[in-house]
Structure 1
Amino acid sequence: MKYYSGLDVSLKETFISIIDEKGKIIKEEVVASESDAIAKCLLGQDKEYEVIGIESGQLSISMCKELRNFGLPVICVDARHMAAALSARINKNDKNDARGIAQMMRAGLYKEVLVKSDESCKIKVALGSRRQLICNKQQIIGTIRGLLKVYGIKLGKGAKFEIFALRIQDAINNLDEISRSSIEALVCSLETIEESIRKLDKILSGQGEKDEDCKLLTTTPGVGMIVAMTFKAAIDNPYRFETSYTVGAYIGLTPRQYASGEVNHHGSISKMGPVECRSMLYEAAQVLLVVNKKKFKLKSWGLKLAKKKGMKKAIVAVARKLAVIMHRMLVDKTEFCYQ
């Protein structure tokens, strides 16, 4: 007899549903969202599980790895795909979700997603921390600019942080003590954030210099070390893609399609998949088309497309091609070829 299980994981509790190959419910239980408690419940039934499903989410990576260490055949399934299937149920609750996941495992109607490696998770944490610091820095700079406009002070266009800080200090010398102290507090926080960004940049640069794949990707025009590391962390295992052309769809750079009968409509890009990687590829494509001075086929194609469709659409199209090319570079271990 084959057995299947579905886990509906929340922050505090996990609902476990175990069924047999005929769909009959064998066991249902609520346990704490800890791998030890979940493994104890599953292994305590003394069953040979065919597959155990868990939806992709914030806890799914660590949960899958830890449960696999207990010898359980756990897989991570696409939350969007599973949500669409579970939406057919009348009542939405943890019990029904766990039952639905178990039934989907039994029927084989699921889409498995990759559980990211420890190396990829490590890089994603560093990149995510850097991204948040940069966002905070931009917000504080915008706040300072807005507050000083109350006194008619215009700081002008952006500059290096050291020059910008001196410009602020000169601008607030004649202000009252309360206003000056308030702006200085914001500048102090900016200095701390700037120092933290430098530390993370040093860590990421050191890590990238040790990684042959990242150094390989930086031979691509417009691609620096941060873009290369973001792309590699998103792809993780390049061999999991059957063809390089599917990478564009994975990152969300391919058009949506709606086809029914005589209707066949292609819309804007899907914007599915890793947001940060898509943004980085867009910036790299923009640098390739606007800043890079070399002449090669990809740039010529992008500029020709820009004249017909506009620069924004051309940048998106070049970003998709970059994703395909960079994936093939990782698979073949070859540098970018200027043609």
Structure 2
Amino acid sequence: MIQHTFIGLDVHAASVVGCALAPDTGELVQAKMDSDPAVVLDWICRFEAPVKAVYESGPTGYVLARFLREAGIDCVVAASSKLLRAPGDKVKTDKRDARLLAEMLALGQVTDVRVPTREQEDLRDLSRLRATAAKNLAHARQHVNAILLRHGIRYPKKTKWTKEHVLWLHRQHFDSPVLQFTWEADLEQAELLAAHLKRIDQRVAATAGNCEYTPVIDALMCLRGVDITTGFGLAVEIGDWTRFTGSSIGSYLGLVPSEQSSGQTRHQGPITKAGSRYARKLLIEAAWVHRRPYSRPGLRLVRQMDLVGPATRIRALEGNHRLHHKWEVFDARKKRSVTANTAIAREMAGWCWSLAAPLQQGGHGQGGRMNAA
């Protein structure tokens, strides 16, 4: 019987291929089974403890990892972007993938990702639903604007998608019946998606006010550019802020420059764009707000800061002043706006960490939502 076993699992929707490796003897045991957590657990339990299992992150999610952990099996989920693969290896099969995972786990070369709880994953799905709905609405409105642009029709005012603009859109008429049908269908789609997004925003606001991330969301909203949807999105996407430091969180979110160095040459390129794309997008959008003039908190920020403790309030005030000052420095140096905004977003990630991490380390008495009394 194999002891001190490392198990690699190549997980698919309908099947799982497992490879058990004993480093002391080099013995391999491979099997193919149904993609049922109970079946996988039954196969793993054939090997004498201690046993450690790993599978690659992907569309199958974390159900198997949580099931195995609840059964007492040490199971990690490997970051697919960090797996080492030989450039000359042109043969890829499920058995080879499972064996590679087992070997990398035995060598300690697996970079595991955080496995969220079921409740945390539900919150993240809600945040991503909101992001998808906003993207779909933007595309639908773009279709409406494109039809008008192609036919030389221009809205006389600057601000669009107000009530007045929507009424103006409904008054537009085309001679072609086919084009008129297309126009009405596109306009109807845009209005339906706007109502859909509004309903999601209401649910996000209700959920953000009563979930495990509420203290973190309240703290993040003390920074300019962070509204309730942005704070909710950042909180649920990153989850455990204590995994990082103020300098490492920017790297995790892919906001640091890529680099190619060899010998005496060193070249830095665009940002790495690693980690959560949605969290990075939220920070980049929020960073633009800090370019606006700022001397003291507005009414919204004052009300928001009443919900947090003094330590969080002071830190947020420092962050708002610092981020605006950085924009002033970049503008004085005439630095390219997009490059400057990326740098601000990277620093803003560190300020978000400084607000959120203390709360998750047990400092709710200093920074969490305060009682109404």
Aligned residue number for residue 59 of structure 2: 58
Aligned residue number for residue 113 of structure 1: 113
1:181 matches 2:181: yes
Aligned residue number for residue 254 of structure 1: 256
Aligned residue number for residue 228 of structure 2: 225
Aligned residue number for residue 72 of structure 2: 71
1:307 matches 2:371: no
Shift of 1:205: 0.9
Shift of 1:232: 0.9
The separation in 2 between residues aligned to 1:75 and 1:40, in whole angstroms, is: 18
Shift of 1:104: 0.9
Shift in alpha-carbon separation, 1:149–1:216, aligned structure 2, 3 A: closer
Identical residues among aligned pairs (%)? 20
Give the stretch that moved more between structures: 292-301 or 322-331. 292-301
The separation in 2 between residues aligned to 1:67 and 1:161, in whole angstroms, is: 52
Aligned residue number for residue 205 of structure 1: 205
The separation in 2 between residues aligned to 1:252 and 1:169, in whole angstroms, is: 43
User: Does the CA contact (< 8 Å) of 2:290 and 2:327 recur in 1?
Assistant: no
User: Does the CA contact (< 8 Å) of 1:231 and 1:277 recur in 2?
Assistant: yes
The separation in 2 between residues aligned to 1:134 and 1:205, in whole angstroms, is: 15
User: Does the CA contact (< 8 Å) of 1:217 and 1:326 recur in 2?
Assistant: yes
Matched position secondary structure for 1:60: coil
1:238 matches 2:241: yes
The separation in 1 between residues aligned to 2:354 and 2:275, in whole angstroms, is: 19
The alignment's C-alpha RMSD in Å is 2.2
Shift of 1:37: 2.2
Aligned residue number for residue 326 of structure 1: 352
Shift of 1:85: 3.4
The separation in 2 between residues aligned to 1:163 and 1:47, in whole angstroms, is: 71
The separation in 2 between residues aligned to 1:71 and 1:159, in whole angstroms, is: 57
Matched position secondary structure for 1:85: coil
Give the paired residue count. 331
Shift of 1:135: 1.8
Aligned residue number for residue 28 of structure 1: 30
Matched position secondary structure for 1:76: strand
The separation in 2 between residues aligned to 1:291 and 1:191, in whole angstroms, is: 34
Matched position secondary structure for 1:41: helix
Shift in alpha-carbon separation, 1:223–1:4, aligned structure 2, 3 A: same
Shift of 1:16: 0.5
User: Does the CA contact (< 8 Å) of 1:86 and 1:100 recur in 2?
Assistant: no
Shift in alpha-carbon separation, 1:93–1:307, aligned structure 2, 3 A: farther
Deviations 1:288-310 (A, max 9, x none): 11365648232112221233332
Shift in alpha-carbon separation, 1:178–1:256, aligned structure 2, 3 A: closer
Aligned residue number for residue 272 of structure 1: 274
Trace 1:72-221 onto structure 2 (pairs within 5 A): 72-82=73-83, 84-85=84-85, 87=87, 89-149=89-149, 151-155=151-155, 159-160=160-161, 162-172=163-173, 175-210=175-210, 211-221=214-224
Which one-letter code corresponds to 2:324 in the other structure?
Answer: K
Shift of 1:80: 1.4
Matched position secondary structure for 1:290: coil
User: Does the CA contact (< 8 Å) of 1:145 and 1:154 recur in 2?
Assistant: no
User: Does the CA contact (< 8 Å) of 1:19 and 1:25 recur in 2?
Assistant: yes
TM-score, normalised to structure 2's length? 0.82
Shift of 1:50: 3.1
Give the stretch that moved more between structures: 211-220 or 58-67. 58-67
User: Does the CA contact (< 8 Å) of 2:5 and 2:47 recur in 1?
Assistant: no
The separation in 1 between residues aligned to 2:149 and 2:338, in whole angstroms, is: 33
Shift of 1:4: 0.9
Shift of 1:286: 0.4
The separation in 1 between residues aligned to 2:131 and 2:149, in whole angstroms, is: 28
Matched position secondary structure for 1:127: helix
Deviations 1:142-168 (A, max 9, x none): 222333445443346552353333222
Deviations 1:201-235 (A, max 9, x none): 00111122231210111001121111111111122
Provide structure 2 residue ranges, at least 5 long, that are not aligned to the other structure: 297-319, 360-365, 368-373
Matched position secondary structure for 1:296: helix
TM-score, normalised to structure 1's length? 0.89
Shift of 1:318: 1.0
Shift in alpha-carbon separation, 1:70–1:320, aligned structure 2, 3 A: same
Aligned residue number for residue 3 of structure 1: 5
Deviations 1:8-59 (A, max 9, x none): 112322211011123624421112222122112222x242143111111121
User: Does the CA contact (< 8 Å) of 2:51 and 2:73 recur in 1?
Assistant: no
Matched position secondary structure for 1:184: helix
Matched position secondary structure for 1:175: coil
